[in-house]
Structure 1
Amino acid sequence: MLHKNLIRRLDLITLKLFVAVYEEGTLTRAAAREAIATSAASKRLMELEEVLGIGLFVRNAKGMVLTAAGETLLHHARRMLFDLEKMGLELDEHLQGMRGYVRMLANLSAIIQFLPEDLHEFTTSHERVKVDLEERPSAGVVQGLIDGVADIGICSEDTDVQGLHRVPYRRDELVVVMRPDHPLANLDRVAFEDTLSSDHIGLHAASSINMRTHTAARSHGIPLRVRIHVPGFDAMCRMIQANMGIGVLPRKAFELLGPPLGLTAVSLSDSWAQRTLILVVRDTTVLSPVSLLLFDHLRRHLH
């Protein structure tokens, strides 16, 4: 008789809420994500457990953790919601084109250099798709995907992706940015070792660029003289303009931010200055149709 009760009493809102509770970790965040009052969300979850006759979550100080029964329901609920979304999107294509919602995490390099144009191209063809983009350091991108807070991530290729699916996205080049009156400013190329006598402006500790520059300095047995850490590329350029030191940035980011401040850039001769950014997803087979569409769009842009 259980299956008959499920057919009569299960609804899409409750299923979506159940999946959201798992992905967000708490009922409060899940209710906010699904635009449901917390009290109403709690009632729906209790009614679902009553219909099934078994607990779906264990509540603890860290949030809500699935029981074995909850893991079984999660598998089927995701498949049902995926199939229903796919059906709706395919039908809707005949009228107004694809629509949907994609959650993305990306490091600062990807957001500044490449994503504005790539996402503009995608959303121009798919005007009804909403993209929620959040900036995180590369390791944070991977952790966010593992935690289920995003569908697609972009990070540096040297990041430990912990078994997630990865494909190349874009290549970039790191350069040394400085004022035009710096002793190295007239060079075409410079070895990073030769910059270590200067003060550096560092990015936040978790950034891929920060880790690469510190690793390179240690390989030469010379500590990196970081005068100040800043949260982003624009702040780094302003500090360089104010004669606080020099800094390492992706070339395209410098081209967007540096020249208006009267700064110059010198290429690095070190091999680690050539980078590949990668696209990361948990599993392409479980991406929603619209997320897979964006993933395929982005992966075609490597050059």
Structure 2
Amino acid sequence: MSAGPPIAATLSRLDLKTLRLFAAICAEGTLNGAARRAAIAPSAVSKRLAELEHALGCTLLVREPRGMRLTPAGETLLHHTRRMLASAEQIALELAEHARGVRGIVRVLANLSAIVEFLPEDLQAFLAAQGGIRVDLEERPSGGVVAGVEEGLADLGICAGSTDTRTLTAYPYRADRLVLVMPESHPLSDRAAITLAETLDYDHVGLHVESSIYATLRDEARRLSRPLHLRMHVPSFDAICRMAQVGMGLGTVPEHVHALLGPSMRLAAVPLTDPWAQRLLCLVVRPGFLPPAARLLLDHLCAAGGLRSPGENAG
């Protein structure tokens, strides 16, 4: 069996111009369409593709009556090509930011609870104090936060404290408590507090299936050997509140979320007394060097949370 072309020779053919042309062929489905997009002759496109396939030692595209079809090797290359082109575009955008005076860019992944409850004020205070630093924030479920930080897609993450943080270093950030929201006319609305078990005869509305709050409710219902009557999944806390407002089911949200959204919707909030309803949000980073701008943000968020400083051993 052929060992294939040397790695160095393969990498030498993966320049951005060639990758953009390959992506254009895949997008257009024909060599002529790619040629029009790239403003070059179809023969030049065909030649570049043949040279790429020869250098890589495999067929990437197969000609068919209706156009070009990707081979398995072509699908692999297209997957990585899209990521590489997106990274190259991001590099250009961020370098342009530095040229305009930006001192640093911090990439943050955070779960929905952190974004709605605490980050708006904490980031506003940080950016006011640290002129010239930009924060790029993306929402992901807690498991996705950990995976993204591990993969280097972000400098810093915020996830539920119950999440397996794997190889990452974790610091406590903020604590919150889960409550049930419901119309003021609901039979449970006058309760001072309640357990999940006492609510399982009623319909519930839940966050998306990857959310840590939904996973907690599902797992607790299973532990109790009781069904969780979930009428629907929705993508956000405001959607949960709206569904609860019209009587579609009980919604489980952080207490701070009810404080922000509940009063205007005339929603009652009943605290859950189950131990898991008292939650911790954690900051997670990769061990080792942290860029200066990211270190400043980590220090700021730890101080804002007041639970533990980065200098202490967070385990």
TM-score (norm 2): 0.68
Deviation at 1:218, TM superposition (A): 1.1
Instruction: Spell out, residue by residue over 1:193-241, the C-alpha distance to the aligned partner (whole angstroms, 9 max, x if none).
Output: 0011110001000101001111111111111000010000000101111
Separation in structure 1 between the aligned mates of residue 222 and residue 245 of structure 2, nearest angstrom: 27
Q: Does 1:237 align with 2:294?
A: no
1:149: which partner in 2?
Answer: 153
Query: 1:160 and 1:24, CA in 2 relative to 1: closer, same or farther beyond 3 A?
Result: farther
Query: 1:25 and 1:149, CA in 2 relative to 1: closer, same or farther beyond 3 A?
Result: farther
2:176: which partner in 1?
Answer: 172
Separation in structure 2 between the aligned mates of residue 99 and residue 125 of structure 1, nearest angstrom: 13
Runs of 4+, deviation exceeding 4 Å:
none
Q: Give the letter for the 1:26 counterpart.
A: R
Separation in structure 1 between the aligned mates of residue 196 and residue 272 of structure 2, nearest angstrom: 6
Separation in structure 2 between the aligned mates of residue 206 and residue 220 of structure 1, nearest angstrom: 21
Deviation at 1:35, TM superposition (A): 2.0
Deviation at 1:26, TM superposition (A): 3.3
1:297: which partner in 2?
Answer: 300
Q: Is the 8 A contact 2:150 2:167 kept in 1?
A: no
Query: Where do residues 189-204 of structure 1 align in structure 2 (5 Å cutoff)?
Result: 189-204=193-208
Q: Is the 8 A contact 1:204 1:229 kept in 2?
A: yes
1:286: which partner in 2?
Answer: 289
Counterpart of 1:190 in 2: which secondary structure? coil
Q: Give the letter for the 2:274 counterpart.
A: D
How many residue pairs get matched?
Answer: 222
1:270: which partner in 2?
Answer: 274
Give the percent of matched residue pairs that are identical in Structure 1 and Structure 2.
48
Q: Is the 8 A contact 1:106 1:141 kept in 2?
A: yes
Higher-Rg member (1/2): 2
Deviation at 1:127, TM superposition (A): 2.0
Partner residue of 1:221 out of 222, 225, 232: 225
Q: Give the letter for the 2:295 counterpart.
A: L
TM-score (norm 1): 0.70
Gaps of 5+ in 1: 1-22, 37-87, 89-95
2:136: which partner in 1?
Answer: 132
In angstroms, what is the RMSD of aligned CA positions? 2.0
Separation in structure 1 between the aligned mates of residue 148 and residue 272 of structure 2, nearest angstrom: 32
Separation in structure 2 between the aligned mates of residue 267 and residue 31 of structure 1, nearest angstrom: 48
Counterpart of 1:189 in 2: which secondary structure? coil
Separation in structure 1 between the aligned mates of residue 196 and residue 263 of structure 2, nearest angstrom: 22
Partner residue of 1:28 out of 62, 66, 85: 85
Q: Is the 8 A contact 1:99 1:126 kept in 2?
A: no
Gaps of 5+ in 2: 1-79, 307-315
